[in-house]
A and B are shown apart, each in its own frame.
Chain A
Amino acid sequence: MNALVRTGWRSWLSAEVAQSAWQASAQRAWLGWRRFLGNPLAVAGLAVIVALMVVALAAPWIATHDPYAQDLAARLLPPGAGHWFGTDEVGRDVFSRVVYGSRITLEIVFLVAIIVAPIGLAIGTVSGYAGGWLDTVLMRVTDIFLAFPGLVLALAFVAALGPGLFNAVIAIALTHWPGFARLARAETLVVRHADYVSASRIQGASPMRIVLRHVVPMCLPSVIVRTSLSMAGVILTAAGLGFLGLGAQPPSPEWGAMLASGRRFLIDYWWMPTFPGLAILLVSLAFNLLGDGLRDVLDPRSE
């Protein structure tokens, strides 16, 4: 750390030869970050997602009205000074609803991500490393789940569990985890026979330790990339469920549900479904861009 203080962090990060493992990792991260910055679209994606988080957290200050407040005198107003995105059929301000809707979207994304990624990673690495009957069984299970396209399976789960935000999250998570498990398993199979893993085993490391310390870090880059890309699809699926009335229930300002209620009024009051739809598009696009950018940085051999 003395070197850091003496020569400044920039030169520490760009030094030709790293003096410690910590410095080497930091250098690699910094180089990756620089490469990421060179991709304007990916940066834009990241910016949008950060903006989403800011909007969601600061919703009470950004929104102009209470998203649940009805004002029948101000129904179906077009976008204007008082209501930036207009009002809906019971006089609620669309802009505020979109802003608060970002909280729901973020909630869904976050919850699905922290359920799916660790579980998929765990199952995939264990399955790949252990091999044998455990592998076969687990892969059969993922195969069964993967046999159904995303939305249909989620619909089935929601049908069983009943409508509601939390149930929607569970349903979506159940449809996405197999993809992660497969990915993690594929990576594990590659790493399993590496020399350093064998060396670790010879030294007496337990399988648990090997998996955690050696296998999982190798899987992380592709899992991270996949998480971002999956979230784009998750948002669309969640919106789809909301559209069918199966997600967050009214009067919750969930974007998909707003599209459904705006549908009747679409022809003459276009602003009702348009803005939530644009919001969905923007956030989904952002996750796709971020995922692509991350893939270029973390996994350059694919392209």
Chain B
Amino acid sequence: MTLAGLAALTFFIGRVMPVDPVIAIVGEQADQETYRAVRAQLGLDRPLPVQFAYYVRDIATGNFGTAIATGHPVIEDIRRVFPATLELATLALLTGVLLGVPLGIAAAVWRGRGPDHAVRLFGLVGYSVPHFWLGLIALVVFYARLHWIGGSGRVSVANVDLVPSVTGMILVDSALDRNWDVFRDALRHIAMPALILATTSMAYLSRMTRSFMLEQLGQEYVTTARIKGLSGFGVTWHAFRNIAVPLVTVVVLAYGGLLDGAVLTETVFGWPGFGQYLTSGLLAGDMNVVLTCTLLVGVIFLALNLLSDVLYRTLDPRTR
């Protein structure tokens, strides 16, 4: 039901724009004939509800139109660029979880003292920093000055297409191919964008973890654990077991948020992924690209929300 709404919204956005899509295709110099022909071809001379029906039919059959810049069907383009973003987002999420969750636990356990203040401050800054700016700074410092990491793109020019593309994710592919040079190179290139992208989810996850943990640490069973003679670590583990399930659902949602951040991060780092595809389509005024990408992101977001719900229900022993 919501899907239909998604389609409606993107369709509506498409029709609202003041930019004339026909002109975008035929150019300003075209004569009346060509203009009318293309307009008919695009179906723009039909009444609005009919247009919407066409739109839905197109989507249902996987026809998202053709990208102006590449000349390929949008759906193919997306299939090509999506693994790059997938790789980046997944790595960013892993980083966010591996760093954010322990920080949140530490903040809860040492509530009110040093670690708590440090983590909360870090979280605040992580929320407030424009991470495309952070990416720029990182590029200057770590790439230009220190040469620790690779520059833009996924691998250095020399290594492009060197490894057979199995999953589209260079880290995985090069590991499968046992080509460790390419692997290292890819790692050097993905490290910074992943880290920058991870800052928001790190801030979010550390905050949620802290909040969950604090709630648990005030519970009676934690006192029981202490009475039994458990050490601090054992007690924390008892509490952590109780937040594992809500935490998983939160992590899944965070993944959706990463798609959002990927758009700008990819632009800054020249990462040839979905986000950059979207922005270049945007700047070119290619509504097919923009709307399809938006629709896709919406669908993914919805799917993640659904997954989050399902996971919560299946993993919590109390709801079985």
A–B touch (CB < 8 A): the answer is yes
Q: Which residues of A contact B (CB under 8 A)?
A: 140-141, 143-145, 147-153, 155-162, 232, 236, 239-240, 243-246, 256, 259, 263, 266-267, 270, 273-274, 277, 280-281, 284-285, 287-289, 292, 303
Return chain A residues, CB-CB under 8 Å to B271: none
Given contacts A152-B259, A243-B264, A273-B133, contact A284 B9 (CB under 8 A): no
Contact sample, A vs B, 28 pairs, CB 8 Å cutoff: A144-B2, A147-B298, A148-B297, A148-B301, A149-B259, A151-B261, A151-B264, A152-B278, A152-B297, A155-B263, A155-B282, A156-B291, A159-B285, A159-B290, A160-B13, A161-B17, A232-B127, A236-B130, A243-B130, A244-B283, A259-B130, A259-B133, A267-B144, A270-B140, A285-B128, A288-B124, A288-B127, A289-B124
| B90: Cβ under 8 A from any A Cβ | no
Partner of A140, one of B5, B124, B137, B302: B5
**A280 B130 Cβ-Cβ under 8 A:** yes
| B136: Cβ under 8 A from any A Cβ | yes
**B140 A267 Cβ-Cβ under 8 A:** yes
Partner of A162, one of B1, B17, B297: B17
| B267: Cβ under 8 A from any A Cβ | yes
Partner of A147, one of B2, B260, B268: B2
CA distance A246 to B297 in the complex (A): 20
A272 to chain B, nearest CB (A): 10
Given contacts A151-B263, A244-B267, contact A144 B6 (CB under 8 A): yes
Chain B stretch 258-294: residues in CB contact (< 8 A) with chain A: 259-261, 263-264, 267-268, 278-279, 282-283, 285, 287, 290-291, 293-294
Closest Cβ neighbor of B278 among chain A residues: A155
CA distance A246 to B278 in the complex (A): 14
Closest Cβ neighbor of A141 among chain B residues: B5
| B8: Cβ under 8 A from any A Cβ | yes
**A153 B137 Cβ-Cβ under 8 A:** no
**B283 A149 Cβ-Cβ under 8 A:** no
Chain B stretch 235-266: residues in CB contact (< 8 A) with chain A: 256-257, 259-261, 263-264
CA distance A215 to B17 in the complex (A): 38
| B129: Cβ under 8 A from any A Cβ | yes
Tell me what chain B mostly uses at the interface: helix, strand, loop, or mixed.
helix
B241 to chain A, nearest CB (A): 23
Report the interface size class on chain B.
35 or more
Return chain A residues, CB-CB under 8 Å to B6: 144, 147
Return chain B residues, CB-CB under 8 Å to A157: 13
A109 to chain B, nearest CB (A): 14
Return chain A residues, CB-CB under 8 Å to B267: 243-244
**A144 B8 Cβ-Cβ under 8 A:** yes
Return chain A residues, CB-CB under 8 Å to B17: 159-162
| B10: Cβ under 8 A from any A Cβ | yes
**A145 B259 Cβ-Cβ under 8 A:** no
Return chain B residues, CB-CB under 8 Å to A158: 282
Partner of B294, one of A155, A244, A259: A155
Return chain A residues, CB-CB under 8 Å to B146: none
| Per-residue interface assignment for chain B, residues 101 to 127, with 1 indicating a CB less than 8 Å from any chain A CB and 0 otherwise | 000000000000000000000001101
Return chain B residues, CB-CB under 8 Å to A152: 259-260, 263, 278, 293-294, 297-298
List the count of A-B residue pairs having beta carbons below 8 Å apart. Answer: 137
Return chain A residues, CB-CB under 8 Å to B301: 147-149
CA distance A158 to B13 in the complex (A): 9
**B13 A140 Cβ-Cβ under 8 A:** no
Closest Cβ neighbor of B18 among chain A residues: A162
| B19: Cβ under 8 A from any A Cβ | yes
Closest Cβ neighbor of A277 among chain B residues: B133
**A149 B264 Cβ-Cβ under 8 A:** no
| B183: Cβ under 8 A from any A Cβ | no
Return chain A residues, CB-CB under 8 Å to B139: 266
Return chain B residues, CB-CB under 8 Å to A141: 5
**B137 A277 Cβ-Cβ under 8 A:** yes
**B294 A156 Cβ-Cβ under 8 A:** yes
Given contacts A243-B264, A273-B133, A285-B125, contact A145 B9 (CB under 8 A): yes
**A259 B13 Cβ-Cβ under 8 A:** no
| B158: Cβ under 8 A from any A Cβ | no
Return chain A residues, CB-CB under 8 Å to B257: 149
**B294 A280 Cβ-Cβ under 8 A:** no
Contacts A152-B298, A156-B13 given; 8 further ones with Cβ under 8 A? Answer: A140-B1, A140-B2, A155-B290, A232-B127, A244-B264, A259-B130, A266-B140, A281-B129
A216 to chain B, nearest CB (A): 28
**B130 A143 Cβ-Cβ under 8 A:** no
Given contacts A155-B263, A155-B294, contact A149 B132 (CB under 8 A): no
Return chain A residues, CB-CB under 8 Å to B290: 155-156, 159
A144 to chain B, nearest CB (A): 4
Closest Cβ neighbor of A268 among chain B residues: B144
| B168: Cβ under 8 A from any A Cβ | no
Closest Cβ neighbor of A284 among chain B residues: B128
Closest Cβ neighbor of A267 among chain B residues: B144
Given contacts A144-B6, A266-B139, contact A161 B16 (CB under 8 A): yes
**B130 A284 Cβ-Cβ under 8 A:** yes
Partner of A148, one of B127, B140, B298: B298
CA distance A277 to B140 in the complex (A): 14
Partner of A160, one of B14, B140, B293, B298: B14
Return chain A residues, CB-CB under 8 Å to B124: 285, 288-289, 292
CA distance A30 to B34 in the complex (A): 71
B229 to chain A, nearest CB (A): 31
CA distance A285 to B137 in the complex (A): 18
CA distance A281 to B132 in the complex (A): 11
